[in-house]
Amino acid sequence: MSLFLLLFFAMPVHGQVFYLEGSNQTNVGGTFNISLMLDSNVDLGAIQLNVTFNPSALQLENLTFSVSNAIAEKNVNNELGYVKIGIISISGIRSGKIADLKFKAVKSGNATINISIEDLTDTKNNPLNGKSFNYTIYIALKGDFNGNGLVDIGDVAYVAYIVVGKLPYDENADFNNNGRVDIGDLAKIAYYLIGKINQL
Ligand SMILES: [Ca+2]
Ligand SMILES: [Ca+2]
């Protein structure tokens, strides 16, 4: 066995790992839930995190903590796009769900949520290292089939081609939710384009 492999096996398996779990796709105007999770190899006594997001793309509607035997506080700022999280636990937290976050998507495109670890200690107040990370969610605009960020004549043509059978069925074009892409859906996107209706 090489020295490299010996060194590799002598290293600890992992440290303090935070991660996000949940949806990675939604529509403009839609909400989505993600869970902040922890997987640590030691009990954590204090956790201070800064969660940042682009406020023109995302708004945090709700944050609920799931930690027991702990003091947990949050400071949400949707104007600047952050939520600061502070958790103190005497008995220690090791793994599982920390919090549920509910976001509203307000702009189409890829939106990034960054989790930055400001402070982390074990239950004896020794500092620990944690890894900051990003989470990306894709926000689609309903009716924007060619992905240019707006509903335009090209998108209306796309639906028209489906209606006449020149393009295959696309469930995202079923605006009236009747299981088919038909003339009713084509009328809806055409009305939306010219401003007769304001929602698809
Ligand atoms: Ca478009
Ligand atoms: Ca339909």
Domains, the chain, ordered by start: 14-140 (2.60.40.680), 153-193 (no CATH)
Ligand nearest to the CA of 185: 2
pLDDT at site 2:
53
DSSP string, the chain: --HHHHHHHHS-S--EEEEEEE--EEETT-EEEEEEEEEEEEEEEEEEEEEEE-TTTEEEEEEEE--SSSEEEEEEETTTTEEEEEEEEEEEEEEEEEEEEEEEE-SSEEEEEEEEEEEEEETT--B--B--EEEEEEEEPTT-SS-SSS--HHHHHHHHHHHTTSS---GGG-TT-SSS--HHHHHHHHHHHTTS-S--
How many angstroms is it from 50 CA to the middle of ligand 2?
43
Which residue's entry shows tokens 């922890």?
38
pLDDT at site 189:
97
How many angstroms is it from 197 CA to the middle of ligand 1?
17
Note residues around ion ligand 1 (Cβ under 5 angstroms). Answer: 144, 146, 148, 152, 155
How many angstroms is it from 143 CA to the middle of ligand 1?
7
pLDDT at site 51:
97
How many angstroms is it from 150 CA to the middle of ligand 1?
5
How many angstroms is it from 153 CA to the middle of ligand 1?
8
How many angstroms is it from 124 CA to the middle of ligand 2?
61
pLDDT at site 12:
47
How many angstroms is it from 141 CA to the middle of ligand 2?
18
How many angstroms is it from 191 CA to the middle of ligand 1?
15
Give the residues across from 130 on adjacent strands.
Answer: 16
Give this prediction's pTM: 0.79
Low-confidence ranges of the chain (pLDDT < 50): 1, 10-13
How many angstroms is it from 172 CA to the middle of ligand 1?
13
